[in-house]
Chains A and B, each alone.
Chain A
């Protein structure tokens, strides 16, 4: 049994330790005897949707994000949309999250076109949302923690959020939601890395990817003592009941 994991632009979008998500997916698969193959797809590379079971797209600095946005449109747009529409597993963080949307309005009013894979948009705000955040997903009955650091405000329209904000800012500091879910695409502003303190979410992604490929699958549990203590620490410190 094996999963092919694709890391988008690892050489460009690597600012906030988001590579941890890849390391964690690999660790949690291999601890259960599931082989993982990690591929890097960057500027000018083709993206083949059938080759991958999980795609990860992280955040970066502005200058690098501009390069990525051009490359996405010219090289990968239809194949990425095709991948997402086929219910395949996609995890997108921060800048990667914003780029999946329709557009991004910069601080000087310019509209940068996104991939238009999700019906969401982002507007730059004067404020930077920085800090530890706690959210709750009612459907999964799971609490996620992470560290957000963004000045873009994202509006997710009718899409499901990743969770309701219990502490922190979330997508835009206004509507009380963080991240979004569309089919098997999960988006979030959380660094930390996201999956480091949210092993339930990591396993959800692995399980969905395995089921896409091999049918119904039961994941054996792992010892998540450290992960859950690290999560609990943030929840307590943010004063969430």
Chain B
């Protein structure tokens, strides 16, 4: 390995040296170039050694040149995707649609969405020689990192999916999250904003940017149940509680303020109807055309609608959108289906109450008998406060079709208490305090279908464990 790396370094240095001698493409300072070379080498090494590792190379490149991002991204037209839930899936959808339509496109679709992870993504795709023309970069960006990214990149579009309560111990409150995103947008007034119109926090933005909204034009069947546990329900202008003509899920829907008249903006792109929804996906009418979205759950209809909006603006033909949404390859813990011996395991990332509730709703769509595996960690990336599991409506799970509940992760006892209090019989619990026993339990149990819901670091570490055991081939 060391020999291999050395020969690579040697080759790179030779290339750099030759380039300088020939005074070819020296728009980039030598020090930045060195940074790029070393970081690319690190990407190569970490891919070989750890089969992953996505932030570190970007960190190194940044040490060499603070402005590295604008240099390595200059040949791309960026489209940024941010918001609390659905970033990765939406990014994947846009990426697949553009790729299928023949557009040259790159993406950080593994969810490495911090500033340094985004630098790593561009570095990985950076070529010293061929200058990619007319290429797009579809980039998922963490809400708090948007302002750092837009200091260096002027995106053509920024999409914001929604704003749910997310890891409060990190950012404080939902309004704080919104303010961080707005700071990022203020760096780039020319960028078109593609916003979820059903998200009340994204109405009345008071920004110079051109804004296009997407949302649901009419109610769907299960949309009239009221939920007291909403994230944002007060008019952002006058603080009066909103009234909803209908909600789609959580606080997303057709809202208006009875006092000051603030209301959902006019929609530019909309879902007109849901024709069918089950555990294999949803059949929907978007702008009166039929699409099948192979990712189950109402929340994925929003993600698809966002991807549709972006694609239409770029002039992509409906055929490519249709094909991509129908066949989207789900990866990295976003409804990813894997096999463990004869067991089917669907991995779903959960990180906040709204997303968890939607995951449970999509599990309820599966009327067959199944088991759950729930993994809760409390590392920084998961949120160090696990209180939020009490805001998740486990009580709404269809108790009749759930065979067993497998519990694991650093905070498995907190989860066990939560599930017990939600009314599930402890005789059906299996507590696994490490991944060996979890794997053993999954492979030897009598459950043929297991929905595995895990917080971020639980998902990544268990996938890594499964990769080491040979159950997953691609780690990223």
10 A-B pairs besides A11-B233, A27-B420 with CB distance below 8 A are A16-B168, A19-B391, A20-B390, A23-B421, A63-B239, A132-B384, A147-B169, A147-B386, A192-B385, A196-B417
Give Cα distance in the complex from A62 to B234, angstroms.
13
**CB proximity to A under 8 Å, residues B400-452:** 411, 413-414, 416-418, 420-422
Does B388 interact with chain A (Cβ within 8 Å)?
yes
Residue of B nearest to A19 (CB): B390
Residue of B nearest to A196 (CB): B417
Pair B239/A17 contact, Cβ less than 8 Å? no
- Chain A residues near B418 (CB-CB < 8 A): 20, 196
Residue of B nearest to A146 (CB): B387
Pair A61/B411 contact, Cβ less than 8 Å? no
A8 CB to closest chain B CB (Å) equals 13
Binding site for A on B (CB under 8 A): 165, 168-169, 172-175, 228-230, 233-234, 239, 384-391, 411, 413-414, 416-418, 420-422
Pair A196/B390 contact, Cβ less than 8 Å? yes
Pair B387/A20 contact, Cβ less than 8 Å? yes
Does A98 interact with chain B (Cβ within 8 Å)?
no
Pairs A-B, 8 closest by C-beta atoms? A20-B390, A17-B390, A17-B387, A230-B413, A191-B387, A226-B416, A27-B421, A229-B413
Does A131 interact with chain B (Cβ within 8 Å)?
yes
The 26 sampled A-B contact pairs (Cβ below 8 Å) are A10-B229, A11-B228, A17-B388, A17-B389, A17-B390, A17-B391, A19-B390, A19-B391, A20-B390, A27-B421, A61-B173, A61-B174, A63-B239, A67-B239, A130-B384, A130-B385, A131-B384, A132-B384, A147-B169, A149-B168, A192-B385, A192-B414, A196-B390, A226-B416, A226-B420, A230-B417
Q: Report the number of A-B residue pairs with Cβ-Cβ less than 8 Å.
A: 89
Describe A's contact surface by its main secondary structure. Answer: mixed
Binding site for B on A (CB under 8 A): 10-11, 14-20, 23-24, 27, 40, 61-64, 67, 128, 130-132, 147, 149, 191-193, 196-197, 226-227, 229-230, 233
- Chain A residues near B384 (CB-CB < 8 A): 130-132, 147
Pair B228/A233 contact, Cβ less than 8 Å? no
The verdict on A147 contacting B385 (CB below 8 Å), with A11-B233, A14-B229 known, is yes
A95 CB to closest chain B CB (Å) equals 12
Give Cα distance in the complex from A6 to B244, angstroms.
26
Pair A18/B417 contact, Cβ less than 8 Å? no
Pair B228/A193 contact, Cβ less than 8 Å? no
Residue of A nearest to B395 (CB): A23
The verdict on A227 contacting B387 (CB below 8 Å), with A15-B168, A130-B169, A149-B169 known, is no
B275 CB to closest chain A CB (Å) equals 34
- Chain B residues near A27 (CB-CB < 8 A): 420-421
Give Cα distance in the complex from A61 to B169, angstroms.
13
Give Cα distance in the complex from A131 to B390, angstroms.
18
The verdict on A23 contacting B390 (CB below 8 Å), with A62-B173, A196-B418, A230-B411 known, is yes
Pair A193/B168 contact, Cβ less than 8 Å? no
Residue of A nearest to B228 (CB): A11
Residue of A nearest to B422 (CB): A23
Give Cα distance in the complex from A182 to B257, angstroms.
41
Pair A193/B234 contact, Cβ less than 8 Å? no
Residue of B nearest to A147 (CB): B385
- Chain B residues near A63 (CB-CB < 8 A): 175, 234, 239
Which of B174, B385, B389, B413 is within 8 Å of A233, CB to CB? B413
The verdict on A193 contacting B233 (CB below 8 Å), with A14-B228, A226-B417 known, is no
Residue of A nearest to B416 (CB): A226
- Chain B residues near A131 (CB-CB < 8 A): 384
Give Cα distance in the complex from A17 to B417, angstroms.
14
Pair A230/B229 contact, Cβ less than 8 Å? no
Give Cα distance in the complex from A212 to B172, angstroms.
39
